[in-house]
Amino acid sequence: MTKPILELKDIVTVVNKGTSNETTILKELNLTINEGDFITIVGSNGAGKSTLFNVIGGNLSADSGQILLHGEDITHENEEDRTHFLSRVFQDPKLGTAPRMTVAENMLLAEKRGEKRRLVPRHMKQHIDKFTKIATTMNNGLEERMSTATGNLSGGQRQALSFLMATLKRPDIILLDEHTAALDPRTSNNLLHATNERITQDHLTALMITHHLEDALKFGNRLIVLNNGTIKADLRGEEKDKLTAENLYEYFEM
């Protein structure tokens, strides 16, 4: 039986506390994430998608409820502590990479993530072949730009690098926060397929927010609909396979 990696139990999150704009975003939300899940998340603006990611990532504290990682309570762990088991790719390609460092240097930095930093030789030559091979999986020429400063990459290549850096050390959870939204349709489609291939082949566990219902239907083994701070639908297996965009729209009206 598949064991849960992460469990959110009765999570409540309130913003603008003590003001006239005080709002409860997440309302006793419950979610169990199992090993190997690739969960696509859809919902209207204000449904709580980004707040959910911020709570999982430790950027925002839950006002009540509990978060368990492999059964252990991490509810009060901060954002830095959670980087030991979690990676996140944001919508903006400029986030997540060091612009003055080369592609290879960024990947080496990602490989050392969570380790104690010491002043030692970096031994880049012994890593370059491995990094180049990994970069070829993005199918966008990134492998030919290993010595290029990241700030000089195209948006699609930089976002592909961010994704590779997030997955390099096989974190327990990967949060994909609309990571293709800032790209043109062709580049976005290419990165989505590369994302799906890497997550599936490496049996990674990921959550992906998207505004494109077609992508939510096409990718992942589970589809979650968020509405007004609660999960209105958690669809998987045959139920997800049979779902159409028209059916999915109905959940937004519930």
Domains of the chain: 4-85+171-252 (3.40.50.300), 97-154+161-169 (no CATH)
Q: Following CA atoms 153, 159, 165, 171 in sequence, which dihedral angle do they give, to the nearest 10 degrees?
A: 180
Q: What angle, 0 to 180 degrees and rounded to 10, lies between the N-to-C axes of helices 125-135 and 155-167?
A: 110
Q: What is the pLDDT of residues 62-85, one digit of tens each?
A: 999 999 999 999 999 999 899 889
- Whether the CB-CB separation of 59 and 83 falls below 8 Å is answered with no
Residues contacting residue 201 through CB under 8 Å, at least 6 positions apart: none
3-class DSSP string for 156-212: HHHHHHHHHHHHCCCCCEEEEECCCCCCCHHHHHHHHHHHHHHHHHCCCCEEEECCC
Ranges 38-52, 104-118, 181-195: which has the least confidence: 104-118
Q: What is the pLDDT of residues 173-225, one digit of tens each?
A: 999 999 999 999 999 999 999 999 999 999 999 999 999 999 999 999 999 99
Token couple for 112:
């050392």
